[in-house]
Structure 1
Amino acid sequence: MNRDETNPSTLALPPTARSLPIVLLRAREKVMAPFREMLSKTDITEQQWRVLRVLSELGPQDSSRLAHRTCLLLPSLTRISHSMLEKGYISRTTDTRDRRRLTLAITAKGQQLIHDNHERSAQISASFKQALGEEKYETLLDLLTELEELDI
């Protein structure tokens, strides 16, 4: 029986060990495990950590832009931000011209949490860079950025 190479249903799938989605998920879990351990000593989640990191690095952000930069869906960010507001890690202001537009900012308490975990976070990142070597580490970041920017 001949396979029709133009029919996607007849093309063989790659083994899962070489499947990009699965390899990316496995790599993400490997990278996130030490960060989860670090965050287990705090009262925030990895999603909340991402929010604090972006706000600390880039300053106040409107909700849509922050959701994009933290890889969160807007409804998830809305739920997460309510908890972070209650804990005092972020503040929220409403745009005076467009009352639907909210801007979130890190508070001094949120910045202190970043400061308190900065050294450990940097050590974790450095361990991956050391394990891969600086050239491979930078190449990996470049390739993943390139992958993210593909228009497929």
Structure 2
Amino acid sequence: MSKAPASSRRSLPLLLMQTRETVMGYFRPLLREHGVSEQQWRVIRALKAQGPMETTKLADLCSLHGPSLSGMLTRMEAAALISRSRLIEDQRKFRIALLPRAEALFEAMREGMEAQYREIEARLGAEELEQLYAVLDATIARLGGLQEPVDED
């Protein structure tokens, strides 16, 4: 079996980005309806799934750059969605936690999010969706990415 020349291979990064955009198309209307950005939702979901955590871990789990996350956390704190407190053991670091307003927002969006996951599963089929999750998890693990996936809610 011969390998395809590099010039004729599909672009994996581009294909993954196109897939992400297609999938996010199912969720963006609900995010807009509730006035939440995709990045803010990733932060809320990560904190809901794993509880309060240090900023660097949150940035890693949410695939956000530190400076971007810092500005967003400032806005989320001003909107009473999260709290930031300095770690006792290292005053340079912060612990981020959800506030009741973000908890209520998560609950208000839960049914709509679950409906979108059901729609995706209906279009792909349960078995294919599980295979997709497995392939993506294995790809991340084998290529040295995140060690702790954030559960979908």
Tell me: higher relative CO, structure 1 or 2? Use CA pairs within 8 A at least 6 residues apart.
Answer: 2
Gaps of at least 5 residues in structure 2 are 145-153
Residue 99 of structure 1: how far off its partner (Å): 0.4
The amino acid across from 2:20 in the alignment is R
Identity %: 31
In structure 2, which of residues 65, 74, 77 is the aligned counterpart of residue 82 of structure 1?
A: 74
- Alignment match, 1:63: 55
CA distance in 2, matches of 1:87, 1:68: 23
Is 1:12 the equivalent of 2:6? yes
The amino acid across from 1:14 in the alignment is S
Is 1:43 the equivalent of 2:35? yes
CA distance in 1, matches of 2:75, 2:35: 11
Q: Deviations over 1:37-89 (max 9, x none)?
A: 11111222010001001101110010000001111111111111000000000
Aligned length: 140
The amino acid across from 2:132 in the alignment is L
Residue 108 of structure 1: how far off its partner (Å): 0.5
Q: How does 1:69-108 map to 2 (within 5 A)?
A: 69-108=61-100
Structure-1-length-normalised TM-score = 0.87
The amino acid across from 2:127 in the alignment is E
Decide which moves more: 79-88 or 141-150: 141-150
Question: What's the Cα RMSD here?
Answer: 1.3
Decide which moves more: 18-27 or 42-51: 18-27
Gaps of at least 5 residues in structure 1 are 1-10
Q: Deviations over 1:9-33 (max 9, x none)?
A: xx43235xx3322211111111001
